[in-house]
Chains A and B, each alone.
Chain A
Amino acid sequence: MSAASNIPLEGAEPLAAAGPRTGTTEPRSPRRSSWGKLLRDKSAMAALAVILVYVVVALLAMSHLIARHYQEALGTAYVPPSRQFLLGTDLLGRSVLQRVVHGTRIALAVGFVSTGIAIPIGVLFGLLSGFYRKRVDGFIVWFYTTVDSIPYILLVLALALVMGKGLVAVCIALGITSWVGACRVVRGEVIKQKELEYVQAARAMGAGGGRILFRHILPNVMHLVLIQASLVFVDAVKSEVILSYLGVGVQGEPSWGVMIDDARIELIGRGAWWQFVSATTAMFVLLLAFNVFNDALRDALDPKFKTK
């Protein structure tokens, strides 16, 4: 918390940064105590480690340091997992392991990019709507209700078809459809925050709307934004897999959805389970890690919603 922290919140501890203190117990900032809580949460840390492993793998794949031969036939078709091919080969003799690694790259890219699109839109609309109310609020609420009323997958499908298929289209389609949650949460919080003393004080000191919004209120709703971002991320990864499975997602690259689609055929006909298991496990572990981390993050940053 930056500027807003100058005025202590009701019920919150005074800030550590307020000045050098000499005394017995050093009061801690809410942010610090939150991070401390998070760091002590073992399952959260394990989840974070898993996520980091995924990120590293994705970065390595992106820079072509590992899994460079994911498109080539390295062996014959449907070699079961063996020493040479840890996760076996697929129909065209390509290494399933290398394809899973590349799927990670795509999943994370889609996750980060669409979150990067969705969250700013959602936060901006939420801030404006909650702060200015009246007509602005009316319009934004109408707008997100309308967007929200369209079945999500259908909307993304339509967008993907209109924009042409591919990784970029999927990211944009997911980005511009998944901001509603963040917008709603931020709006609610802003409505609450703007009645608090620190906002009144800022206003009394002559701060303008923009300054109050972005310098004072935004930092105080940032924890919600973080939680929302991780939720959007999980949804984006999931949706990309679904879209690719349906054939409107990523083209020409081994997304997990494409792999599951391939596996669907070979699972029944030939009992080749390894591609199916690999792709779903990779997705499952990533999503599970994100969900666990997400829960811990919420517990730490927003104790009101504590689940444990």
Chain B
Amino acid sequence: MSQAPRNTRVSVPRGRSLWTREARASRETAVSSLLTALCAALADYAPVAVLGTTLLLCIGCTPSRKHLGNVFRAPLGSNLKTLDPAQASDQYSNQCQFQVYETLFEYKYLSRPYDIQPCLAARPPEISPDGKTYVIHMRPGVEFQDDVCFPGGKGRLVTARDFVYSIKRMCDVRVKTFGWWIFDGKVVGLDEFRKKSEALPPYPEQWHPALYDEDLPGLRALDDSTVQIMLIQPYPYFKDILAMPYAAIIPHEAVEYYGEEFLNHAVGTGPYKLTEWRHGLRLVFDRNPKYHHGFYPTEGAASDSAAGLLADAGKPLPFIDRIVFTIFEETQPMWLNFLRGNLDRSTIPKDNYGDAVLPSKSLRSEYESKGIELVQAKDLDVFYVCFNLEDPILGKHKMLRQAMSLAYDAKQVIELFANGRGITAQSPIPPGLFGYDSTFAGPYGHYDLEAAKALLSKAGFPGGQGLPEFEFLTMTGSDLRQQGEHFAQCMARIGIKIKVSIFTWPEYLDRLKRKQTQIMRAAWSADYPDPENFLQLLYGPNASPGENNANYRNPEYDSLYRVMAVIPDSPERLKVVRRMQELLAEDCPWIYSYHRINETLRYQWLKNHVPHAVLDAPIKYYRIDAEARRGYLGG
């Protein structure tokens, strides 16, 4: 799952990759001059030598930007391990495999809050009244891309059996997926299937064991174009799960043909196909000529059409012919390449943030004049400080927690630690999700030192007297330690003593699971865009070693959660979610900190680019204004 994933990344000392690049470049130069000399010696006369030199120089240079064509160039932050959707768990692998593989459902590109639409399915699922049985019809006429793994090299039609195969393969223990949790305990018979797969001989003996062909009660192809899924209990967010990359449809021919090499190949139904993968350097995807089922969305908010995002409404996708992902392990070369116009989109490296963005959160003029635009997007995450309610003091004194919540200056945290890129949180649900209400504010969700002091006296600890020193648990990392110090500073203002303890991620997790905590810093990033994913963090039965690390138990909250988890988005659900938020605001099991705002940069010639919290790279919707690009870059 995705607890505090991105912000805990350790920064790597810079320069390494840069040096290897330079070393490589100088090596290449040396080799080319040697070859040139050889050419000259062999040919014995000048013209050939000149020709050879020119040729070699051309090879040595970076490709000319003059004839870029309809190409989208984006950076990747690290080398990829795999393109197998069952194993791709990191952001970069997902960005790449998303271009090739598709799922039954996909996220709508422009609609907010996030919602899904059919992709390889023909229409929305038919769900039985009890919410447990899903019947899904496949989109007719969709074919896999042409690939040598198919007889005659021609891609065949996608059937319901391919979906069943893909899910079974993903759940096969031998595949070692990180995504098993999306189906764990949800589909009738699938857990038993996974158990049985443990007895299968290890790869590469049986790529397609007989076990795959046995019918599961809860996962069946009724015919070539109909899938039936039976759930153990209703999960309204199950449609979101069917849109996750883990549930992508893959052809069994590719798995059997490539065997262990499958992770280096990609055979899907998506808008692009993989044409080149130079490990550690770049990946190139070209338009899949057999892709005909994607169209640009026709619906969007009024602001979308004002921003020109609906100009291409209804047009067939994709618009771009070729995608080139270049791998940059270090941020500095990526940044310099972006500024030179060699990339169409880039994140802002932390170290260059002050350079590029003014304190007023607008882009510095020299960047604007280059045609660069700043794009802000709200991430689906929440950062918070968590109390362990099983602690004898913190658990017993609600007013103490309320006072601490009032003494916590979340705005300052955003300023100091997020470069001002954040929204103060008032509930676990981040903006962009069903149930988020920007006007909602809890009674203890703001910074008020006087009120905090008064409440602390009321709780029986005037000026912090009678309280022991509390331990604040956090993880290694300079900014995390500083955030701990900031928390201690905030609490010192009302007389509460805090000791900051720093642990590595495994140690930290271990303490959490064993409930050996008092106060801890935590974060959660959405697994799927449903408020349930956030509200389950405080559901009583999920207490540690589950994800409810606050060990919060409130019978009313728990019963509301059980209702909320099974009803679809509706005014009724909204009411339940709202009541849950109120309960949390009163009980203060967490001190809410903030929701992150993500900032990226793009060049003006990149059209239809809308930040999407779930999809990292929906490139099929993008369009490149080649004229504008030529105008800016010259040539």
Contacts of B482 in A (CB 8 A): 91-92, 262
As a 0/1 sequence over residues 474 to 493 of chain B, the CB contacts with chain A under 8 angstroms (1 = contact) are: 00111101100110110010
Contacts of B354 in A (CB 8 A): 269-271
Whether, in the assembled complex, A268 has its beta carbon less than 8 Å from a beta carbon of chain B, the answer is yes
Contacts of A262 in B (CB 8 A): 478, 482
Asked whether A264 lies within 8 Å of B478 as measured between CB atoms, the reply is yes
Specify which of B350, B416, B477, B489 is in contact with A247 (CB 8 Å cutoff).
B477
**CA of A109 to CA of B324, assembled, Å:** 56
Contacts of B362 in A (CB 8 A): none
Question: Which residues of B from 458 to 512 have beta carbons under 8 Å from A?
Answer: 476-479, 481-482, 485-486, 488-489, 492, 499-502
**CA of A154 to CA of B561, assembled, Å:** 48
Known: A247-B481, A252-B499. A77 touches B488 (CB 8 A): no
* Nearest CB in chain B to that of A268: its residue: B351
Asked whether A71 lies within 8 Å of B488 as measured between CB atoms, the reply is yes
Kindly provide the distance from the CB of B13 to the nearest chain A CB, expressed in whole angstroms: 10
Whether, in the assembled complex, B440 has its beta carbon less than 8 Å from a beta carbon of chain A, the answer is no
Contacts of A265 in B (CB 8 A): 478-479
Whether, in the assembled complex, B353 has its beta carbon less than 8 Å from a beta carbon of chain A, the answer is yes
Contacts of A165 in B (CB 8 A): 501-502
Whether, in the assembled complex, A251 has its beta carbon less than 8 Å from a beta carbon of chain B, the answer is yes
* Nearest CB in chain B to that of A261: its residue: B478
Kindly provide the distance from the CB of B103 to the nearest chain A CB, expressed in whole angstroms: 40
Judged by DSSP, the binding face of A is loop
Asked whether B416 lies within 8 Å of A92 as measured between CB atoms, the reply is yes
Asked whether B502 lies within 8 Å of A92 as measured between CB atoms, the reply is no
Known: A72-B489, A262-B482. A251 touches B350 (CB 8 A): no
* Nearest CB in chain A to that of B507: its residue: A161
B interface, size bucket = 20 to 34
**CA of A251 to CA of B481, assembled, Å:** 9
Kindly provide the distance from the CB of A99 to the nearest chain B CB, expressed in whole angstroms: 11
Known: A77-B416, A91-B482, A261-B478. A269 touches B489 (CB 8 A): no
Asked whether A247 lies within 8 Å of B476 as measured between CB atoms, the reply is yes
**CA of A77 to CA of B489, assembled, Å:** 13
Q: Which of A92, A262, A271 has the most chain B CB atoms closer than 10 A to its own CB?
A: A92
Interface size on A, residues (CB 8 A): 20
Whether, in the assembled complex, A73 has its beta carbon less than 8 Å from a beta carbon of chain B, the answer is yes
**CA of A91 to CA of B488, assembled, Å:** 14
Contacts of A73 in B (CB 8 A): 489
Specify which of B481, B489, B501, B502 is in contact with A71 (CB 8 Å cutoff).
B489
Question: Which residues of A from 83 to 119 have beta carbons under 8 Å from B?
Answer: 91-92, 94
Kindly provide the distance from the CB of A96 to the nearest chain B CB, expressed in whole angstroms: 14
Judged by DSSP, the binding face of B is helix
* Nearest CB in chain B to that of A90: its residue: B482
Question: Which residues of A from 242 to 260 have beta carbons under 8 Å from B?
Answer: 247, 251-252, 258
Contacts of B481 in A (CB 8 A): 247, 258, 261
**CA of A220 to CA of B298, assembled, Å:** 93
Specify which of B416, B479, B489, B502 is in contact with A251 (CB 8 Å cutoff).
B502
Asked whether B485 lies within 8 Å of A247 as measured between CB atoms, the reply is no
As a 0/1 sequence over residues 157 to 171 of chain A, the CB contacts with chain B under 8 angstroms (1 = contact) are: 000000001000000
**CA of A265 to CA of B481, assembled, Å:** 12
Asked whether A251 lies within 8 Å of B501 as measured between CB atoms, the reply is yes
Kindly provide the distance from the CB of A284 to the nearest chain B CB, expressed in whole angstroms: 21
Kindly provide the distance from the CB of A188 to the nearest chain B CB, expressed in whole angstroms: 40
Contacts of B486 in A (CB 8 A): 92
Contacts of B479 in A (CB 8 A): 265
Contacts of A268 in B (CB 8 A): 351
Contacts of A252 in B (CB 8 A): 485, 488, 499-500
Question: Which residues of A from 48 to 83 have beta carbons under 8 Å from B?
Answer: 71-73, 77
Specify which of B416, B492, B500, B502 is in contact with A91 (CB 8 Å cutoff).
B416
Asked whether A92 lies within 8 Å of B485 as measured between CB atoms, the reply is yes
Contacts of A264 in B (CB 8 A): 478
Kindly provide the distance from the CB of B431 to the nearest chain A CB, expressed in whole angstroms: 26
Asked whether B477 lies within 8 Å of A251 as measured between CB atoms, the reply is no
**CA of A40 to CA of B478, assembled, Å:** 46
Q: Which of B351, B415, B482 has the most chain A CB atoms closer than 10 A to its own CB?
A: B482
Contacts of A271 in B (CB 8 A): 354
**CA of A265 to CA of B489, assembled, Å:** 20
**CA of A36 to CA of B502, assembled, Å:** 50
Contacts of B489 in A (CB 8 A): 71-73, 92, 94
Contacts of B477 in A (CB 8 A): 247
Kindly provide the distance from the CB of B95 to the nearest chain A CB, expressed in whole angstroms: 27
Contacts of A92 in B (CB 8 A): 416, 482, 485-486, 489
Kindly provide the distance from the CB of B487 to the nearest chain A CB, expressed in whole angstroms: 10
Contacts of B485 in A (CB 8 A): 92, 252
Asked whether A72 lies within 8 Å of B416 as measured between CB atoms, the reply is no
Kindly provide the distance from the CB of A242 to the nearest chain B CB, expressed in whole angstroms: 15
**CA of A262 to CA of B477, assembled, Å:** 10
**CA of A268 to CA of B476, assembled, Å:** 20
Contacts of A72 in B (CB 8 A): 489, 492
Kindly provide the distance from the CB of A161 to the nearest chain B CB, expressed in whole angstroms: 8
Known: A72-B492, A91-B416, A247-B481. A269 touches B476 (CB 8 A): no
**CA of A262 to CA of B482, assembled, Å:** 8
**CA of A258 to CA of B489, assembled, Å:** 16
As a 0/1 sequence over residues 336 to 361 of chain B, the CB contacts with chain A under 8 angstroms (1 = contact) are: 00000000000000110110000000
Question: Which residues of A from 124 to 139 have beta carbons under 8 Å from B?
Answer: none
Kindly provide the distance from the CB of A93 to the nearest chain B CB, expressed in whole angstroms: 8
Question: Which residues of A from 214 to 273 have beta carbons under 8 Å from B?
Answer: 247, 251-252, 258, 261-262, 264-265, 268-271
Question: Which residues of B from 349 to 383 have beta carbons under 8 Å from A?
Answer: 350-351, 353-354
Kindly provide the distance from the CB of A150 to the nearest chain B CB, expressed in whole angstroms: 20
Kindly provide the distance from the CB of B208 to the nearest chain A CB, expressed in whole angstroms: 46
Q: Which of A72, A247, A251, A265 has the most chain B CB atoms closer than 10 A to its own CB?
A: A247
**CA of A263 to CA of B477, assembled, Å:** 13
Sample of 15 A–B contacts (CB below 8 Å):
A71-B492, A73-B489, A77-B416, A91-B416, A92-B482, A92-B486, A92-B489, A247-B477, A251-B499, A252-B488, A252-B499, A252-B500, A261-B478, A262-B482, A271-B354
Given contacts A73-B489, A92-B489, A251-B500, 8 further A-B contacts (CB under 8 A): A71-B489, A72-B489, A91-B482, A165-B501, A251-B501, A252-B488, A258-B481, A271-B354
Closest 6 CB pairs of A and B: A268-B351, A247-B476, A252-B500, A261-B478, A269-B354, A92-B486
A→B interface (CB under 8 Å): 71-73, 77, 91-92, 94, 165, 247, 251-252, 258, 261-262, 264-265, 268-271
